[in-house]
Every structure is written in structure tokens, then in C-alpha cells.
Chain A
Amino acid sequence: MSETMNPTSEMAPARGALDQDWRKVVNWGLILALALIFVSLTDMPEKLDKRIIVEPLLSMGYLSLVWIPIALGNIVTREVVLEGMTQHKKGARELVAGLVVGAIGGLGLALLIWLLDTRDLSDPLVNWNDALLEVLTFGEGVGYGVLFWILVSAGLGAIGGAIHLLPKLATRLLLAISLTIVLAAALESALDDISEGFRLEWLFEALFEKKGGLSVQGAIILAVFATAWVLFLGGQASKGKAIVQAKREETPVAVNAIGLTLIAAGAILLPMFLGRLTNDLLTNVGLFLLLALGLNIVVGLAGILDLGYVAFFAVGGYTAAIMTSPSSPGLSPALPWWVAIFIVVFMAIVAGLFIGAPVIRMRGDYLAIVTLGFGEIIRLTVRSDWASGFTGGAQGILSIPGADIFGVVTVKGTDPQQVLYLVMAFVAIAIYVSWRLENSRIGRAWMAVREDESVAEAMGINTVNSKLQAFVVGAILASFSGAIFAAKVGSVFESSFKILVSIVILVIVIVGGMGRIAGVAAGALVLVGILGGPNQPGLLAEFSEFKLLIYGALLIWMMLKRPEGLIPNVRRSRELHQEEFLQDAWLKGQADDDDDGEATNGKVAPA
């Protein structure tokens, strides 16, 4: 809960600068020190140093360190103000707390630098080497590095604390500017690609240095743009949105039709302007979006945590491969892809029912592990000698001819633009299906089952059947993705279908927002597009070593702080925060009733 919970109560004057909860400050300082040492030892500062954000000033490597003191300096000074608590004005106290936290963190890093210089721990810790020391000390010697990090970290911590002092608008401005710059730097290669398609090379060259990274003037241009957006254009945009919204209420059909036409036109035209790299990237995003939309139905709508979801991806991929490839061992009908897709759907339904039926009555957590077991069983079976007569075992199935669409065109994996069109068509189908299902009788049954199975059953919903339906729909969507994947890559191997894939899809769904199509799309775009999929590189190719680590950390952080995801589903979010709502209501009630004496004291906050 934020400080805005209680806007009406009066602000008490600021507390003295040294009136601190020192224990808390020192604890956070130690956490910061540990975090800085951890990040340094993962070698992020060194490995990402080549990826420049603003040419001489900042690289991704240093960014991986400097954001932590700011964030923790901010967190330590954040106050949870509940009903009935006095809220103090912010002042020098916040600065001091941030400063101390930052300084302790800097001391930790300084200790690491000193140890790097004097001890050799490279036996267990592979990144314990002079290159890391060089990056941390800027090649200027240990004394310089130690002093630099203590001062800079303290300064950054103080900045983190100072954010509370700034007016809301200034905070928004700072956030917008830093996000724009980091995002632009992260998207550099994609922007390069796009600018070529749109004949905007001059703009790209104005913003970026030749050897990579934004130039200083480019960063300034972007900062000015971000400022203008926050101050002027943002307001205009939201006004425009409001007008469209109003019109939509008047004549929904016409406005929706115009909107859809615009989106469709954009989707058809865009790939033509994009280069190979961006098209390929978007294809990967699309494949994972397709998977995530399927899992969104299973986990987000029906509340079944399926950890073996990759099994259906594998079923789709292998069925398409066996049916279309002329060189598949055993069965090899070499059907055209569009015929094979019907068999793929059939197999997905069979697999969905076969895996779904035994697990559907299990408790949620048992179900998760058992589906995970099924995912592994399918992969192990596909790899084994026993099934290699059909699946090729570890050698996989090669020379898949690409996707033949009704004999008109053959979408080759070598042409990312065509594959992108194919993926977009299927994503469109998946979005349409998810959207229609969500608001249908089945969709509402799923949500009821998710929220409370016994109540749903009492309301006359056949819980077993509706869960199975969710399972099968999810399976079909995943199998589509698998079939396209097989045609795109031209071969299938069991190593593409590890449990890891299931977990990455789960992260996409959860980070984006369970049960919300826009959220899942955003999740796929950000995670697969920028960080990369399990085996596919994203825009930040330098991150490939760290992306799984980041996925794990992101999953924990999202669950702890924002379980409803970045773009939450309204109902789902209400469900997750129900307790807080009830508690607030209760506290409010108690504050109001205080004069009435013991009236509310007997009530206990719902557990």
C-alpha cells in the first residue's frame, strides 16, 4: 500500500534528519552490499560493458550496478501509512537514510574490490578475475575504485531517498526520461533495422553512435522528447483516447470496425518495412505469444497450473514434422502443411484429453507436478530408441519443407517475413478465440472454477468438463505454435521441448498479467523480444547468459509485489487483493467507530 492511502489526514511536520530507524537502515544497507557484490560476481558489469547506453557515460554493465542503490535508497525511505497513522512531511531524513544505505552498500563493493585485488578465489567463483577488477576500478587502481564506489553509491542512495521529496510531476519526468533512454538503447538493433525500412537512417544516425550506444546529443534529444510527451503530448493523447472512447459508446460497430481495419492494415504493412532481424524477432515473439495465449486460458482463466505445457508444443511440432517431412523415419506421408495442421489439431485434442483426464481431479499443486512429469515423459519417450522409429530419437526429424498453404504459397523458414505473416494469422485466431471464450458461458465457468471450485460446482457448473475444455483449447493453441515452429526451423529435436520452455511461457503469462490478453502480449513482447526465449536470442543478445537468472528473479518479484501482472485483469486483481480491501475496510470501520467504544473490537480481520 502506498502513501496515497490517506490523502485527507493532516501532514505532521518533517522529522529530524537523524531521527532514523537505524536498524532498518543498516539492514537495507547490508542487503544493498550483498546485492552489489552478487551482481558483480555474476560478471554482469564486465560482460555487459560492451553494450553502451549513452556513449562515453554509461553502459549496461554499469547500469546493472547503479540502479540498485537508487532503488534500495528509495525503498528504505518508503513509509507504509495506514488509516489512523500520522504521516510526516518528507525532508532531510529521507536523504540521510538513502545516503547511509548507499554508503554501506558502497563499502561492501569496496570490500569486494579489495578482496579481488589481494585474494584469489577463482577456484569456485569463475568470474573472480582481473577483468572484473579492471571494470570495477575503471583501470585507475584499487584506491580510486574504492573511493569512487563508496561516494557514488552513497550519492545514488541519497538520490533514491530524494525521489520522495520531489513533486509528482518531476518524478514522472525523471522516470519517463530514464525509461526512454534505456529502452532506446535496448532496442538499438531493432531501431536500426526499422529505420532502414522507413528510410529514416538520418534519424538513427543522429541518435546513435556508429560503434553502438546513444550519442550524448541523441540522449538529449530523447530526453527532450520524453519531457515534451509527459508535459504536453501525453495529455493530448489521452484526450484523443477519451474522444475515441466516447464515440465508441455512440456507434460501437463503426468505431470497432475502423479500429480493426487500422490494426489489420498495420499488421499487413509493417513486416514489409521491417528488416530480416526484426521480422525474425517478431516471429519468435509471435510463437511464444501463441503459446502464452494458450497457457493464459489454462492458468489465467481456468486456474490450472500446467507445468508440462511444453508437451503440447512438442506434440504440434512432432506431428507436423512427421506428417510433412519426406525424410521422417517410420511414418512419412509427406502431406502438405495445411492438411497436416488438421492432424495436428486432432493429436492435440487427443493429447489434451489423455493428459488432462487423469490430472483434472487432483489438487492444484499435485496437478502442477504431474503435468510436469507428463511433459518429461513425452520428451524422454520421443528421445528414446523405442520411439525413434517414428521420431528420430536424438537425431530428430530433418528437412521439413516449410508451410504449404492450400498449395498457393509455401512459407519457407528462410524467409522471416512470410513466417511472420503466418504467425500473425494464427495469433489473430488465438486472440479472437481467447476474447470470445473469455466472455462466453464457458469462459465464465472457467473463472468461477478458478475462484472457488466447490462454489462453482454448487452453481451447477460441471467442473471436470470445463477444466478439460480449457486444457484442450490450450493444447490446440500450443500445437499450432509447435507446427509453425517445425516449419520455420525446418527440423525438430527433443532438446527444443525441455521443461524450461514451459517455465518461460509461465513467466510470460505471469509478468504480463494472468487472464488478460493485452498483458500476455506485452509480456511476450518485452521478455522474448528484448531478453530472448529459452533458445532464441533477443535484442539484448549480451544478456543471453543472464536471461534465465533474470526470469527467475522476475518471477519471484512479480509474485511478491504484483501477482496480478503488469497489465492486470481487473477481476483477477480484485481476487488477489481481496484481503487488503477487506482489511482496509475494517480499519476504516474501526477508525470511524472508535468513539462508540468496544463495538468493533470483537471483530477479527479475516484470515
Chain B
Amino acid sequence: MRHKAAPRTGVDWFLTFLRVLLSALVTFGLLAFIWQQIDPGNPLADAINPDATRLSWDAFQGLVISGLSQGAMYGLIALGYSMVYGVLGFINFAHGEVFMVGAMTGMITSNKLFEAGVWEDNFLVAILVAVLISIICSTLTAVVMERVAYRPLRGSPRLIPLITSIGVSFFIQNTSAVLLGPGAKSYPRLPDWLRDDVGIGPFDIEGKKLLVLVVAAISMGALWYLVERTKTGKAMRAVAEDKEIASLMGIDVDRTIVTTFAVGGAMAGVAGILWGILFGSVTEFTGFLPGIKAFSAAVVGGIGNLGGAMAGGLTLGSSESLAPQLVLEPLGVTGHTQLKDAVAFLVLIFVLLVKPTGLFGERLSAEDRA
């Protein structure tokens, strides 16, 4: 985007300064952390962080695992952002709400199944049914959203669909609050084997986190197969590359776009159920922050790039869970865990400042590259 020949202005100097400052802070924090690990009573820690302690291996491992399992969820949501961005070139701000719809329907189904006794007797059947219903509802939400709000706007100035999607997000959020009542609603209790630790090599992973990672990996594999190995996937890639040429090649562009929304919605539905399993409750605002973080994950991984979305999700999830301990605490920030959400946004800003194309580069359609 930047013209190489253009003279460096004040803004450029400021940006360079910011880049250097942020990188220096992160490096300094990490070095301080390492020193603190070696010797908690070192002079630097004494000066800025008097109650510094060593981070135990168990605690570190716990942070990594919860970061990765959350990151896997972000990755699943991010796939939806990434695919829609690849095909239509706009951010579907309301995709987080699709995820929320998945979590909500999951809550309703699992509570109904719990009442019927299936949840406790045969957990695997219950969770499969819940996942299926969540996927159906999320997919439906995404498809209706596309039909009602986005299709009429195709070809309008770029900000118009973005603003519309903010409206859609707002509408779905408040629909949920009005129809289902505001506030947190809980999932039924998980069976014991999901709440116990499972030992894999040097790691002890809580059963539900392992389940999240496994389900995310399976979904990712299925999506990869769909996009790279099937005819539908080929059509999607063609439409992402160039809509006009794709339609000349006999691809039904409208249908492909609907498929894209549907697949993204299904992934968000799976992520919704996983959220319910991981955190045990859901509110009408559940979709908002994870949605934005998932978008950040998509950007971090390089938007339009499916593998990148998953990698970005894992990166974002683990940095959000590790950075408060690894960077903020050694820097002497008190109450660092409160800044967890702020870290996610800082990662986004940092990546956009340093490498705007994301870690793995972006794949965009012709009109966006211009």
C-alpha cells in the first residue's frame, strides 16, 4: 500500500517509532521474564516487580493448553471471516453472532437432552445431536444473513456492507436477549471423564480441552478436504480468485457465495458448542469479543488463507493467555490478567503495523489486490 518513493513524513516516523517501541517492550518483557525465571530476586525484578516469582512448569503448561484450546476455537470462527473475506472482500462483522447462535442452540439442546436423561446416560450421542443442531442453526443464520442483508448490497461501496453487518450483529445480539432473556445461561454439568486430566507425554490436559483440540482438528481437516479436494471447493477458490471469470466458466457465483457462508456458519456452530463445553455458559454477548478476536486471528494469519486462519487463531489464543504472565508481569503491570482482552487487540495492531499481510500472507481476489 505504501509507495516506496514517497518521502517519509511525520506519520511514517511515528509508525517506525511505534514498531520499535512495541518490539522493544515485548523483547524487554520476555528477557525480564527469563531473568526472573533464573533468579526471581534479580535487581531488575526488584526494581519494577518486587513480588516476582518463578512461573512453575505446571502453571506454564496450563496456560499453554488453555491458550491453545481457546485459540483453536478462534481459529474455527476465523475460518468463516477468512472465507467470506476471500470471496466477497468484506468483513462480515456479524460472524461472531453466528458463533453465538451456535453456542445458544447448543445450550438449549443440551439442557433439553439433560432433562431427558440422555446427556448423562450417553454423553457422546447427546453431544453429537447438540453439535448437529448447532451446525444447522448457525448455517441457517449465516445463509439467511447473506440472503437478506448482503446479497442486495453486492457491488456497493465497501463500507456499506460493513456497516450493514454491524447492524446485523446488533440485531442478532438483541434478538437473543429479547427472545431468550438476557444474562448468562449455563450448560449442563459435563461428565467426570471430561473434567479429569489426561496425560499425553509430558502434558496433562484437561479432558474438555483435549476434546476441543481434537474436534477443531477434525473440523479443520474436513474443511481442508472440502476446499482443496472437492468440486464445490474448487468453485469457491475460483470465485475468490475472480468472480467474473468464474461465472464465465459456468460457476454459479451466487450459489458458491451461499455455500461459503454456510460452511463458515457450520464451523462457527462447532466453535459455539466447543465454547459451551469449555466455559459452561453463554450470554447474548458471547459472540462479540470472540468474534472480533477471531477476526484478529484471521488477519494475523493472513486473511483469505485458511491454514493461516487456524494458525492465527492458535497464535492469538496462546499469546493472549501467555502474554500477561510472560510480558506484562515482568514489565511491572499490576492486575495483568485483566488486560487479557487488550493483549489480543494489541497483537492485532502489532501485526498490522509490522506485517500487514499477516504471518502467512494473504490471498485476495483481484479487485482487493488493487
Contacts and interface: CB of A to CB of B under 8 A. Distances in A.
Contact of A464 (B11, B112, B159): B11
A100 interface: no
B334 A385 contact: yes
A464 B2 CA distance: 11
A125 B11 CA distance: 53
Interface stretch (B251-259, B311-319, B344-352): B344-352
Contacts of B156: 563, 576
A361 B148 CA distance: 32
Nearest to B161: A559
Given A503-B170, A549-B174, A559 B352 contact: no
Interface in B54-69: none
Contact of A546 (B1, B178, B353): B178
Interface stretch (A178-186, A216-224, A372-380, A516-524): A372-380
A70 B108 CA distance: 35
Chain B contact residues, majority secondary structure: helix
Contact of A553 (B15, B108, B171): B171
Contacts of A125: 179-180
Interface of A: 41-43, 123-127, 303, 305, 307, 353, 357-358, 360-366, 368-370, 372-374, 376-377, 380-381, 383-386, 388, 462, 464-465, 468, 499, 503, 506-507, 510, 545-546, 548-549, 551-556, 559-560, 563, 575-576, 579, 607
Contacts of A305: 159, 162-163
A383 B348 CA distance: 21
A29 B224 CA distance: 41
Contact of B296 (A365, A373, A468, A499): A373
26 contacts: A125-B179, A305-B159, A305-B162, A305-B163, A357-B18, A363-B1, A365-B162, A373-B292, A373-B345, A374-B349, A376-B341, A377-B346, A381-B342, A386-B338, A386-B339, A465-B11, A468-B11, A510-B163, A545-B178, A548-B173, A548-B177, A549-B171, A549-B174, A556-B164, A556-B171, A560-B153
B11 A124 contact: no
Contacts of B160: 559, 563, 576
B152 interface: yes
A540 to B, nearest CB: 16
A interface majority secondary structure: helix
Nearest to A579: B155
Contacts of B153: 559-560
Contacts of B334: 385-386
B179 A383 contact: no
Closest 10 CB pairs of A and B: A385-B335, A555-B167, A552-B171, A373-B345, A552-B170, A126-B181, A549-B174, A556-B167, A559-B164, A384-B338
Contacts of B163: 305, 506, 510, 555, 559
B309 interface: no
A305 B1 CA distance: 19
Interface string B7-28: 0010100110010000000000
Nearest to A464: B11
B189 interface: no
Interface in B113-161: 148-149, 152-153, 155-161
B16 to A, nearest CB: 11
B240 interface: no
A369 B291 CA distance: 11
B335 A386 contact: yes
Contact of B11 (A357, A377, A552): A357
Contact of A560 (B149, B346, B348): B149
Contacts of A554: 167
Given A369-B292, A380-B341, A560-B153, A548 B11 contact: no
A559 B341 contact: no
Contacts of B162: 305, 364-365, 368
Given A386-B333, A553-B171, A556-B149, A303 B296 contact: no
Interface in B164-193: 164, 166-175, 177-181
A574 B306 CA distance: 38
B35 interface: no
Interface residues of B, number: 62
B158 A364 contact: yes
B295 interface: yes
Given A42-B175, A370-B348, A575-B157, 19 more contacts: A123-B108, A124-B108, A305-B159, A358-B353, A364-B159, A364-B162, A365-B159, A368-B91, A368-B162, A370-B349, A374-B345, A385-B334, A549-B171, A552-B168, A552-B170, A559-B153, A559-B167, A576-B156, A579-B155
Contacts of A468: 11
B300 to A, nearest CB: 12
A555 B159 contact: no
B335 A384 contact: yes
B299 interface: yes
B356 interface: yes
B90 interface: yes
A551 B166 CA distance: 11
A403 B299 CA distance: 44
Given A548-B174, A560-B149, A380 B342 contact: yes
A370 B352 contact: yes
Interface of B: 1-2, 9, 11, 14-15, 18, 90-91, 108, 111-112, 148-149, 152-153, 155-164, 166-175, 177-181, 244, 288, 292, 295-296, 299, 333-336, 338-339, 341-342, 345-346, 348-349, 352-353, 356
Nearest to A393: B335
Nearest to B22: A358
A125 B180 CA distance: 5
Contacts of B292: 369, 372-373
Contacts of A552: 167-174
Contacts of A43: 178
Contact of A41 (B2, B112, B164, B179): B179
Contacts of A380: 338-339, 341-342
Nearest to A42: B178
Contact of B159 (A303, A361, A386): A303
A499 B341 CA distance: 14
A507 B161 CA distance: 14
Nearest to B333: A386
A452 to B, nearest CB: 10
Contacts of B177: 548-549
A546 B177 CA distance: 9
A503 B285 CA distance: 15
A30 to B, nearest CB: 13
A43 B179 CA distance: 8
Contact of B179 (A123, A127, A369): A127
A385 B179 CA distance: 36
Contacts of B149: 556, 559-560
Nearest to A549: B174
Nearest to A606: B155
A362 B356 contact: yes
Contacts of A384: 335, 338-339, 342
